[in-house]
Structure 1
């Protein structure tokens, strides 16, 4: 297995690198220390490589405008209603960056920072590790939070993402990776992609896409216990816009996406919940991501703290109690 690293720019005086991992099956993974980002995944198809996640044209485009493509998003990926975190009788006001809400950690999240990096080559797996200290007060959050993200690619075409974080003060934290899968290539949509999800319960959405508890999937468009084509389901939800919903996962169970090409990815995660989002906004995006269309990709956001309205106890990170998440994507091609 091989690891190569290329410097391509700077951000606030910090160097930016693209790191490439290649296994013995020909699977190629590109990472950026900008945002601890999963930039590209390419798999063999005959005598060529094909992209199976959404990406921008070149690494330097990622810092041009926030796009969330494969980034490590936080401090919290969920929405904070009214951009206010209530702690007993006290309240902490965060910057609003989606109407009245705070989303994806605020306007300058973890996915927009230059992370430190190290890598280790091995005979059967390669690992790249990124670290970042997010200082107290950044985006309005208390606590100095040290976050470590690692990506490990093995010879079984498994890519494992591990995230740990610890804080020196009570704070909010619920970070995850935000990769968009496009198994039939970025020029297609996910309409022909099937999703199978080990989940009996989903989260209905109230106003402003905020979750409002849990409901059984049985008898609803959200029943993915058997594989269903996304193109059959997306017109039935959110006024035809597509999916943007949380699901509770059964313990040690998985989500599987299968493209019309037969290429597939199975996600297993230590997280108890996943948000399925079908890229409903891409036709409204300009600039470096303007080539993407609505439903160009689908993201499976593994979340340690399931989105559940305003129950902030689940996403409160305490000193001495580290946050831990591990997600593995098994690719089939």
Structure 2
């Protein structure tokens, strides 16, 4: 009996040791953040595919809604000067409007190549590739069947400090004409200081080009029938890229000083938008890429809406940002607050490498090779200025 008892004690001690070690080696979880991620049915595509919606909520009550079709952000709320949270991103009112061809890329993840590629063609390591033409002679935002039309695998990250979603998509070699099988991972994180952090990663099995971005349209007023021309914008960039008649950079890096493109000091978006300027005429407003000052993760833009008091700061480690003033919104679609999305009722600040980089050797390279990892980060941080 004594021997048996002693063996039992030893066995329990061993189990305790292994059990304790196992517990200590487990990642620290944050169940309170898992509870702030809700999953619900969103809609069904014409092909019968079921779409899920993931709702992130932080401790302040801010919410971000994401669907697994296109990694689309369908809603994002931010507080005004009275503490009231309101949706500040444009989006469709019916699920099928996302599924049946999204002409404005509302809220979508963009790839493989954000922005334009001239003549839908580029040469990489001596080989010429033709990609999908979906913008006149050019390829825009990855082609007609870009990442914004794909089903992303989405799962909550259990060991994250804040509410986080992990989105993954593998693009086949030759998809939309791009070389290499590309595996892309994107993290959406909603922090407790009212910031949406977006982290991008990608790996390939053969040389390719990559330029990922997020295409949310913002209107900080929360009223999507109002123009964004009263929003005050500051961009930390001393130069921009002039474009030709097809909105392709001509290769020049032009100073913004003394031009309508000077946002180095905050000013209303509408102040110079109708100026007699050839570049504004070509874009029908602002639809240009700014060359950002500095490097690494830094503050590159701030937008302030005086009436609501909402402020949005953009941080990124990218070399450029495409500022688009919603020039082609045309009143075809209902807004989430009634009325129609008319011209200039939303703006985009798309952090990215420069347009047409594969065809312009003087621009930062967008080439990704096997064994390398593409990494990029952008933060949209919201606050109130009274």
- Per the normalisation by structure 1, the TM-score is 0.93
Aligned partners of 2:187, 2:249: CA distance in 1, in Å? Answer: 30
Which secondary structure state, in structure 1, belongs to the residue aligned with residue 318 of structure 2? Answer: coil
Query: CA offsets, 1:141-184, max 9 Å, x none?
Result: 11110001111011110110011111101112111101111001
- 1:14 is displaced (CA, Å) by 4.7
Corresponding residue for residue 125 of structure 1: 162
Corresponding residue for residue 206 of structure 2: 169
Segments of structure 1 that go 5 or more residues without pairing to the other structure are none
Aligned partners of 2:357, 2:206: CA distance in 1, in Å? Answer: 23
Corresponding residue for residue 190 of structure 1: 228
Corresponding residue for residue 15 of structure 2: none
On the 8 A contact 2:357/2:366 being kept in 1, the answer is: no
| Stretch deviating more after TM superposition (264-273 or 53-62) | 53-62
Corresponding residue for residue 302 of structure 2: 256
On the 8 A contact 2:289/2:354 being kept in 1, the answer is: no
Corresponding residue for residue 22 of structure 1: 57
1:41-56 correspondence runs (5 A)? 41-45=76-80, 46=82, 48-56=84-92
Report the aligned-residue RMSD. 2.2
- 1:309 is displaced (CA, Å) by 7.8
Corresponding residue for residue 267 of structure 2: 228
Does residue 277 (structure 1) correspond to residue 316 (structure 2)? The answer is: no
Corresponding residue for residue 172 of structure 2: 135
On the 8 A contact 1:8/1:60 being kept in 2, the answer is: no
Aligned partners of 1:320, 1:219: CA distance in 2, in Å? Answer: 45
| Stretch deviating more after TM superposition (285-294 or 127-136) | 285-294
Q: Structure 1's 168 and 293: CA in aligned 2 closer, same or farther, altered over 3 A?
A: same
| Stretch deviating more after TM superposition (84-93 or 222-231) | 84-93
Q: Structure 1's 138 and 307: CA in aligned 2 closer, same or farther, altered over 3 A?
A: closer
Work out which of the two has the higher radius of gyration on C-alpha atoms and give 1 or 2.
Answer: 2
Aligned partners of 2:218, 2:366: CA distance in 1, in Å? Answer: 26
- 1:302 is displaced (CA, Å) by 0.4
Which secondary structure state, in structure 2, belongs to the residue aligned with residue 166 of structure 1? Answer: strand
Which secondary structure state, in structure 2, belongs to the residue aligned with residue 139 of structure 1? Answer: helix
Aligned partners of 2:95, 2:379: CA distance in 1, in Å? Answer: 24
On the 8 A contact 1:274/1:306 being kept in 2, the answer is: no
On the 8 A contact 1:142/1:171 being kept in 2, the answer is: yes
Which secondary structure state, in structure 2, belongs to the residue aligned with residue 209 of structure 1? Answer: coil
Count of matched residue positions in the alignment of Structure 1 and Structure 2? 332
On the 8 A contact 2:92/2:333 being kept in 1, the answer is: no
Segments of structure 2 that go 5 or more residues without pairing to the other structure are 1-32
